[in-house]
Amino acid sequence: MAEKPLVFGCSCSRERVAAMLQSLGEAEARAAAQDGQTEIQCGFCGQRYVFPLAEIGVLFEQPSANAPTPDRLQ
């Protein structure tokens, strides 16, 4: 059996972080904001995700055909 090198691969993504912010609720997600944005850093790989307050608001809007959803955020 051939040996395979151990490789680290983090499964974090902007969509997962957005879902985590939604699970906090709008008030808590907004309370985490500093300087007009919420910044989350993955504890495993160090990737930073920045959500301006306008995007936080979008996370809590009722979905419609044209409204951005977390999977459509930049």
Give, rounded to a whole angstrom, the gap between the first and last alpha carbons of the chain.
Answer: 43
> Model confidence over 2-19: pLDDT tens digits?
888 888 889 999 999 999
The vertex-41 CA angle with 36 and 45, nearest 5°, equals: 160
14-64 CATH: 3.90.1280.10
Whether the predicted model's global pTM rises above the 0.85 cut: no
What tokens appear for 31 in the block? 């309370």
| Residues whose CB falls within 8 Å of the CB of residue 25, separated by 6 or more in sequence, listed in order | none
* Cβ atoms of 49 and 40 closer than 8 Å: yes
Over residues 52-61, the mean pLDDT reads 92
What tokens appear for 67 in the block? 């409204």
**Domain boundaries, given as residue ranges, for the chain:** 14-64
DSSP state of 43: T
Q: How confident is the model at residue 70 (pLDDT cuts 50, 70, 90)?
A: low
